[in-house]
Structure 1
Amino acid sequence: MRHASPFHQHQTIEEHFSFWDADKYATLEALKSIQTLTAELVTIKAELSLTDEDFYQFYKEEYDHLDSLKLPPVRDQLCIHYVEVLDELAELRTDWDAAREVGNNALTSIPTGSLEQINSALTQAHIQVDTSYTKLQNAEALVAHIEVQLVVDQRWEIGGPEYQHFKEEATLGKYCTALDELERLIVMRLFKLSKLSLLGTGKFIGKALQRCSDVIRDAINWYNTQAVALKPPLSPQPKISWKDIADYGFLGKFDLLRYSRNNIRTSDWSKPGHRETTTKFFKLC
C-alpha cells in the first residue's frame, strides 16, 4: 500500500469505504425486512390464532400429503392394468358377437343370383369375423397372463368389489396423468417467458399463454374431462380455466390439485392464509 501511487491509495481507500457502506446498508435493509416480516407475522398469527408449533405441523402435514402421491405399489399397478384389460376383453367380445351377427345376415340384402356380390359379402364377413376373433384371442391370452402374475384363481367380475376398487384407481391414475401433463406444459411455458423477460403480472402471463398454447388448451380440456370423471368415493375436482392457470406461479400450487384420499381442502395447512403465513414464518427461520 505504501509503495502505491497517491491515485491508487485514494482509489483503494474509496473502494474500501464504498464496499463497507454497501455491506452496511445491505445489513440494514435485511434487518428492516426482518422487522417488517416479524411484525406482519405477529399480526397474522394473532388474527388466525396460530402458534409457531402450528407452522411445523402444517409443514409435516403437507410433506406427508405430497409423499402419499407417489406411484402405487407394483401389484396395484398390475391390478389396474388387469381391470383395463378386462374392460378391453369385454368390448372385444361384444365386437366379435356383432361381427358374427353381421356375417350371419350378410346375404339378406343381396339380390338372388348375384354370385359376385355374394362372394364379396361372404369374404368381407369372413375377414371381419376372423379379425375380431384374433383380437379376442390376444386379449384372452393377455388376461390369462396377468392372472398368472397376480395368482388370480377366479376371474374378477366386472362390477365386483376388486374390479370396482381398481377401476377407481385407474380413473385416479388418468386424472393424475392429465394433471402432470398440464403442470409440465405450464412450467415449460413459464421458463420460456422468463427467458424472454416477459414474466410480469398474472394477467399478462395468462394472455401470453393464451396466444401461444393450443397444446396447453388441449391439456386443460383433458384435465377437466378427467377431473369430472372422478366419481364417489373419489371427489370430483373443480375444472381449471385460463384465469386459474394465470394464478399458478410454480409447482407448489399444482401439488395442491392432486387428489388425496383425505380431502385436503378441509385441512388447515392447505388454506391460502395459513400457507402464506407458514411461508413468512420459515423465511425468518
Structure 2
Amino acid sequence: MKETHTVRTVAVYDETGIFAGHCQHGFVLALINMVKSGELAKYVFVLLALVCRVLGPEIVKLILGYDIGCHFYKMVMRHLHTSNLLNDHEFLALVGLFHGTAHDCLCQTRNLPKYQDNVGLEEFEECETFFSESNALAARTRYSTAFHCWQAFVMWTEHKDHFQTYGQLFHTLATKYWHALAIIAEAPVLAWLISELNGTTPTTLEGWLKAEREYLSSLKKEPEEETLQMEYYQALVNFYNAKEAADGLRSNVAGLQFVEESGANRMGAKSATRRFETNQRHVYERENKCLEAVRYLEAHLELVERWQPGAENWTQAQVLVSKHHYQLVLDKLESLVVARLLELWKINIPGTGYKLRKHIAKVMQACSKAVRTALANYNAAAAALKSLRPPLEWEAIIEYSFLAEFDLLRFSRRDVRSEPWAQGSGCAAMDLYFKILQAKEEIQQLNAEIRCLYTYMCNEDLAHQVELYHQEHSRFNSEHHCCLEKLCKEAGCTAVLEPGTALSKEHDVPLLAAAEEEMPDAARAEVLCAAESEVEGAEDVDAETVADSLELVLWIADDVGGDGGAGL
C-alpha cells in the first residue's frame, strides 16, 4: 500500500486537544481526546451519555451549557441513543454567557441562561478558566510522547480537583451567595424603574421579552403573501421574456432559405446548423419551463385570470419587487445595527468587568466590518429607488446609543422606535428584573448545595472511622472462615454457618429508622445476610484489585520496553 494513502488515514487519529466537561462548581466530569478531526458534536454526545449513565434516574433535570447549545438540542433529540437516554430527564441546552456577545440577538433571547428557569446565575464558562490555567502545561509537554502528555494532563487535573477546586469550594459558594444577595438588594432600583415606566408590571416585562423575540424573528424572513406575489410576478416576467425570444426565433426560422454548400463550406455550414438547432431547442425548453412555473404559482394562488402588463395587480407587484432588494438590505442592516446597539449598551452596564468589556469590544470591532458592508449595500439600493430614501453614513451609526435614535427603522416593515423594550429605561428594567429572578433561584440552589457540602464533610469523617474499624477487624476474617469451614466438616459437628439475627440492635447493619420499623424479620435477615457477605468479600475484592494493578504495571513495563520508550 502506498504511503501517501496511509499517512492521511493514520493522521486522522492524531490527538489535537482535550475536550473537557465540568460541573457548575468546576470539578472535571470527563476528559476526552480530540483527534485531528477537530471539535465535533460527537464529543458532547459522549459526555452527555456518560453523565446520564453515571447519574441514572436520580437526575431530574439536566442543563448543558455549550458554545453551539442553540443548535445542539435539536441534534440531541434527533440522535437515537441520546434521545432514549434523555426520555426520563428534562434536558435543556443553553449557550455560555460570552456567547451573547458573539451571536445574534434572537439566539440571546432564547438561549441565554438569564432568561431560563432553574438556572440561577450560572455562566456556563468553566472551560474558559480551566484551559486558561492548563496553558502552563504546554511548555512541559511540548516534546513529550502522547502517553506522557496525557499522563501529565490527567495528573494535573486530579491535583486541581483535589487541592484547588475542592479547596476553594466554600469560597466559590460564598462568592456566589454574596453576588446573589447584592443583586437582590437592587430591588428598590427595579421598583423605581417600573414606576418611571407608567403601567408597567413584572408580567409586562416578560411580555416585552416575547415581543422582542417576535420582532427579531420577523427580520429573518419576508411575509409569505408578499413573497408569493413577487415570485409570481417574477415568473411572469421570465415567461414573457422567454416567449418573446421563442417567438422571434420562430419568425427567423420561417424566413430561412435552404442553400446547398459544397466542399469545405459544407462542414462549416453543418456545424452552424447544429448550433442553431441546439440554441432553438434550449429557447423552447426555457419557454416551457417558465410556463410550468407560472401555472404552478397560479394554482397555488388560486388565480382565475393571468396578470397582464399594465394591470393594477401587475403594477402593485412590480412595486413590491422594486422594494424587495431594498427591504432585504434594510433588514440586514437593521439586524446588525440593533445587535450592535444592544451589545454597546452591555458595555456600559455597571459592574461589567474589564476583561468582559475588552471581549465585547473585540467582537464589536469584528461586527463593524459586516455593518460597513451592509451599509454600502443599503445606500446602493436606496439610490436605485425612485422614492427618496436618505443615504446613511457610518459616522451616524456609531453615534447611536439607543434604538429610538435609529431613524432608519421608520422605513422598515414595523417601526419599533416607540416600543418600550427598545428604550434605554425599558432595557435596564428588563435586564434587572430577570437578574433578580435568577438571583432568587441562585439563593435556593446555594442553600441546598451548602447543606450537601456540610453533610459530605460530616460523612467523610464518619466513613474514615468506619474504614479504620473495618481494617482492624476484617484482617482476620479469612482465617476465621477457613477454620470454621474445617470445623463443620468434622464428624459430629452440628454447627451451622449461617448469619443470625443479633438480639441487640446496636450490632445490626445501619438501616433507616422508618424502613427498619416496617421491615419484617425475614426481610431484615436477608439484608443482614447480604451485608455480611459484602464484608466477607471485601478482602477478596482488594486482593483482585492488587492483582489487576500489578498486571497493569507489568503490561506497561513490557509495552514501553518493547517500543524503546522511556520508563515510567
TM-score, normalised to structure 2, is 0.30
Partner SS, residue 264 of structure 1: coil
2:221 and 2:250 mapped to 1: Cα distance? 42
Q: For residues 65 and 96 of structure 1, do their structure 2 counterparts lie closer, same or farther at Cα, with a shift above 3 Å needed?
A: same
Q: What is the match of residue 269 of structure 1?
A: 421
Q: Do the aligned partners of 1:171 and 1:226 also contact (CA within 8 Å) in 2?
A: no
- Residue aligning to 2:492: none
Letter in 1 for 2:239: L
- 1:62 is aligned to 2:212: yes
Asked if 2 retains the 8 angstrom alpha-carbon contact of 1:55 and 1:278, the reply is yes
TM-superposed deviation, 1:90: 2.9
Of 343, 346, 362, the residue aligned with 1:204 is 362
2: CA distance, partners of 1:176 / 1:101? 42
Pairwise CA distance, 1:135: 1.1
Q: Does 1:52 align with 2:200?
A: yes
2:283 corresponds to which residue?
A: 132
Alpha-carbon distance change, 64 to 98 in structure 1, aligned in 2, over 3 angstroms:
same
- Return the letter of the residue paired with 1:284: I
Paired residues for 1:23-102 under 5 Å? 23-35=173-185, 37-42=186-191, 44-45=193-194, 48-50=196-198, 52-53=200-201, 55-56=205-206, 58-59=208-209, 61-66=211-216, 78-96=228-246
Aligned to 1:252: none
Q: Deviations over 1:185-210 (max 9, x none)?
A: x9xxxxxxxxxx99944442255568
Q: Is the 1:82–1:146 Cα contact (8 Å) retained in structure 2?
A: yes
Given that 1:178 and 1:223 are in contact with CA atoms closer than 8 Å, whether structure 2 keeps it comes out as no
AA of the residue aligned to 1:266: S
Cα distance change of structure 1 residues 260 and 209 upon mapping to structure 2, 3 Å threshold: closer
Q: Deviations over 1:227-267 (max 9, x none)?
A: 7499799x9798797x979x9xxxxxxxxx8x963311232
Match of 1:10 in 2: none
> Quick one: structure 1 residues 96 and 25, their matched pair in 2 at CA, closer, same or farther if it must change by over 3 Å?
same
* Aligned-residue identity in percent: 16
Which residue of structure 2 aligns with residue 283 of structure 1?
A: 435
Q: How many equivalent pairs are there?
A: 234
User: Greater relative contact order (Cα 8 A, min sep 6): structure 1 or 2?
Assistant: 1
Larger Cα Rg: Structure 1 or Structure 2? 2
Cα distance, 1:104–1:280 mapped onto 2, change above 3 Å: farther
Shift of 1:31: 1.3
d(CA) in 2 for partners of 1:179 and 1:26?
39
Separation (CA, whole Å) in 2 of partners of 1:221 and 1:95: 38
The one of 315, 320, 328 aligned to 1:175: 328
SS at match of 2:294: helix
How far did residue 149 of structure 1 move? 3.6
Q: What is the CA distance between 1:20 and its match in structure 2? A: 6.0
Relative to its length, the structure with more helix (as a share) is 1
Contact 2:239 2:290 in 1 (8 A): yes
Closer/same/farther in 2, CA of residues 100 and 92 from structure 1, 3 Å limit: same
Partner of 2:305: 154
Asked whether the equivalents of residues 171 and 230 of structure 1 are also in contact (C-alpha less than 8 Å), the reply is no
Q: List alignment gaps of at least 5 residues for structure 1.
A: 1-15, 108-113, 187-196, 248-256
Deviation at 1:139, TM superposition (A): 1.0
Please tell me whether the aligned partners of residues 232 and 294 of structure 2 are also in contact (alpha carbons under 8 angstroms): yes
- Give the Cα–Cα distance (whole angstroms) in 1 for the partners of residues 293 and 217 of structure 2: 33
1:29 maps to a residue whose letter is H
Question: Which secondary structure state, in structure 1, belongs to the residue aligned with residue 417 of structure 2?
Answer: helix
Distance 1:50 1:236, change over 3 A: farther
Q: How far apart in 2 are the matches of 1:28 and 1:17?
A: 19
> Is the CA contact 1:224–1:240 (under 8 Å) kept in the aligned structure 2?
no
Question: What CA distance in whole angstroms lies between the structure 1 residues aligned with 2:224 and 2:284?
Answer: 31
Match for 2:184: what amino acid?
I
Contact 1:175 1:223 in 2 (8 A): no
How far 1:174 sits from its partner (Å)?
A: 7.6
Deviation at 1:155, TM superposition (A): 0.4
- Matching residue's letter, 1:27: Y
Q: Secondary structure at the match of 2:287?
A: helix
Does the Cα contact within 8 Å between 1:228 and 1:239 map onto a contact in 2?
Answer: no
How far did residue 30 of structure 1 move?
1.8
CA RMSD of superposed structures (Å): 5.7
**Residue identity opposite 1:275 in structure 2:** C
Unaligned residue ranges in structure 2 (runs of 5+): 1-165, 258-263, 340-354, 401-408, 438-568
Amino acid at match of 1:171: H
- CA 1:221–1:49 in 2, change beyond 3 Å: closer, same or farther? closer
Question: Residue 105 of structure 1: CA displacement?
Answer: 10
String of CA shifts for 1:200-225, please: whole Å, max 9, x gaps.
44442255568xx9xx6997479647
Checking the alignment, whether the CA contact within 8 Å between 1:175 and 1:226 is kept in structure 2 is no
| Counterpart in the other structure of 1:5 | none
Q: Distance in 1 between matches of 2:371 and 2:217?
A: 29
